[in-house]
């Protein structure tokens, strides 16, 4: 039977239209409640949708920056810890020179000189092993690490490498000259060790300052990401209280529409009986 063959009263058609509109509104409201968003696509509100997506894209890009900052921070902290370890080795070397000055026995001094040389070798091994993520900033002043602070890589910090190998710290005093046979040999080594300790303190302070700066930028980036996500959410989020009230109202309206449609049908039947 064609639609044109079905005869509906004007009130019945009005009630059906109202029910259809109510059903569409119910579906929309339920979608808002289930997703927590009042704007789920560009067709809902193109301006709000694309602005929200822009904020989210920026937040995602900054999240990559934040991850890189986290990795760099761990690297810098690792280098700082290694400097502390090297400082401990230098302190041990000082202990050896102190012992050497405390004796005039050439055999004992020669043995201490051998320990000195062995320990400087271990110092070099330690420094060369202080590689983090393929980068070592402790065995050459030619090595640098660049950390970027924004998504366009226009702000950055360059962390310059240092040389805290025995050659870099102790220069010509990186070995026990003359097997520590004379006091002059020992005192020369001791002088280099004092300079080395001063250098290590300066290097540790520099790396510590870089670490603090990176941590500050990481916190800044985290807060900025949160702000962008909140801005995105504010544009598209649904008010659950309002949507819940709308849902109850629409459900009641839907029930009333069904009742109204039934009444229309009952009236039509009554008229037919009279006829």
Tell me the CATH number at 108.
1.20.1330.10
pLDDT of 268 strictly over 80: no
Establish if 13 belongs to a structural domain: no
Residue 48's pLDDT band, with cuts at 50, 70 and 90, is confident
Q: Give the per-residue pLDDT at 267.
A: 46
Establish if 43 belongs to a structural domain: no
pLDDT tens digits, 151-198: 999 999 999 999 999 999 998 788 999 999 999 999 999 999 999 999
The average confidence (pLDDT) of the chain is: 83
Establish if 24 belongs to a structural domain: no
Q: Give the per-residue pLDDT at 235.
A: 79
Establish if 269 belongs to a structural domain: yes
Residue 46's pLDDT band, with cuts at 50, 70 and 90, is confident
pLDDT tens digits, 80-135: 999 999 999 999 999 999 999 999 999 999 999 999 999 999 999 999 999 999 99
CA distances from 70 to 82, 144, 146, 238 (A): 18, 17, 13, 34
Examine the domain organization and report whether 247 and 164 are in the same domain. no
Task: Look at the chain and report how many structural domains it folds into.
Answer: 2
Examine the domain organization and report whether 112 and 137 are in the same domain. yes
Examine the domain organization and report whether 217 and 262 are in the same domain. no
Examine the domain organization and report whether 268 and 156 are in the same domain. no
pLDDT tens digits, 207-255: 999 999 999 999 999 999 999 998 987 777 654 555 555 655 656 555 6
Examine the domain organization and report whether 174 and 157 are in the same domain. yes
Establish if 272 belongs to a structural domain: yes
What is the span of the domain harbouring residue 259? 240-275
User: Rounded to whole angstroms, how far apart are CA atoms 46 and 52?
Assistant: 10
Examine the domain organization and report whether 199 and 246 are in the same domain. no
Examine the domain organization and report whether 225 and 135 are in the same domain. yes
């Amino acid at each position: 039977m064609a639609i044109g063959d079905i005869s509906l009263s004007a009130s019945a058609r009005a009630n059906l239209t109202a029910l259809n509109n109510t059903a569409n509104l119910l579906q929309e409201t339920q979608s808002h409640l289930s997703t927590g968003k009042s704007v789920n696509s560009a067709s809902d509100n193109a301006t709000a949708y694309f602005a929200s997506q822009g904020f989210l894209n920026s937040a995602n890009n900054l999240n990559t920056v934040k991850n890189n900052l986290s990795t760099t921070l761990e690297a810098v902290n690792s280098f700082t810890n290694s400097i502390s370890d090297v400082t401990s080795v230098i302190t041990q070397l000082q202990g050896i020179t102190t012992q050497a000055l405390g004796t005039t026995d050439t055999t004992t001094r020669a043995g201490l000189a051998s320990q000195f040389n062995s320990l400087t070798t271990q110092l070099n091994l330690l420094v060369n092993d202080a590689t983090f993520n393929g980068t070592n900033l402790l065995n050459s002043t030619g090595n640098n690490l660049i950390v970027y602070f924004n998504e366009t890589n226009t702000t950055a910090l360059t962390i310059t490498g240092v040389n805290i190998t025995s050659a870099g710290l102790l220069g010509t005093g990186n070995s026990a000259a003359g097997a520590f046979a004379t006091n002059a040999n020992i005192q020369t080594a001791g002088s280099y060790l004092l300079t080395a300790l001063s250098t290590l303190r300066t290097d540790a302070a520099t790396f510590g300052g870089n670490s603090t700066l990176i941590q500050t930028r990481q916190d800044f980036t985290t807060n900025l990401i949160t702000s962008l996500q909140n801005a995105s959410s504010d544009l598209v989020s649904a008010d659950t209280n309002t949507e819940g009230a709308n849902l109850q109202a629409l459900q009641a309206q839907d029930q009333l529409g069904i009742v109204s449609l039934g009444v229309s049908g009952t009236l039509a039947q009554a008229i037919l009986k009279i006829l």
